[in-house]
Amino acid sequence: MSCGQGACGCCAVLMEGKAVASCITLTAECEGKEIITIEGLSDPVTGELDPIQEAFLEHNAFQCGFCTPGIIIAVKSLLNSNPDPSEDEIKEALSGNYCRCVSHYQVIEAVKSVLKGGKTA
Ligand code: FES
Ligand code: FES
């Protein structure tokens, strides 16, 4: 289900706070850089989830969940650079994430709920 070619977005990780497709990122490019995977978004001690992860659960913003880690990483990347994006900016930021279950409507609602809650600002 993953593409291995930088086209679907499901393998995204944060490199220096910005989403990158790990499948087309060379190890050498990672040297000295901060890399955060989807697992790294939760608190390592308490296990508390990132507000974005909580919002996805609350809004059922996935079906099979295969694309979800990449989408959440893309949202985190967006909010790192733009804490108050418009709906169009959210859609643009997620344009590289392919969801074959068509969960994008719930994803948009989940992201907007995080903005309303002001949890990531
Ligand atoms: S597996 Fe599709 S972008 Fe990496
Ligand atoms: S929830 Fe199934 S691919 Fe997105």
Tell me the per-residue pLDDT of 45-88, one tens digit each, with 9 for 90 and over.
999 999 999 999 999 999 999 999 999 999 999 999 999 999 99
Residue in 8, 101, 102, 108 to alter for ligand 2 test, most ligand atoms within 8 A of Cβ: 101
60 falls within a domain: yes
In short, whether 65's Cβ falls inside 6 Å of ligand 2 is yes
Measured CA to CA, the distance from residue 30 to residue 8 in angstroms comes to 21
97 found inside a domain: yes
50 CA to middle of ligand 1, Å? 23
Expressed as residue numbers, the domain containing 64 is 12-117
Residues 15-39 have pLDDT tens digits of: 999 999 999 999 999 999 999 999 9
CATH of the domain at 108: 1.10.150.120
Q: Is the CB of 60 under 6 A from ligand 2?
A: no
Q: What is the pLDDT of residue 62?
A: 96
> What does the block give as tokens for 106?
């719930």
Q: Is residue 70 part of a domain?
A: yes
pTM for the structure as a whole: 0.94
34 CB neighbour count, 10 Å cutoff:
10
Q: Which of 24, 26, 21, 57 is nearest to 37 (CA)?
A: 21
| Domain-embedded: residue 1 | no
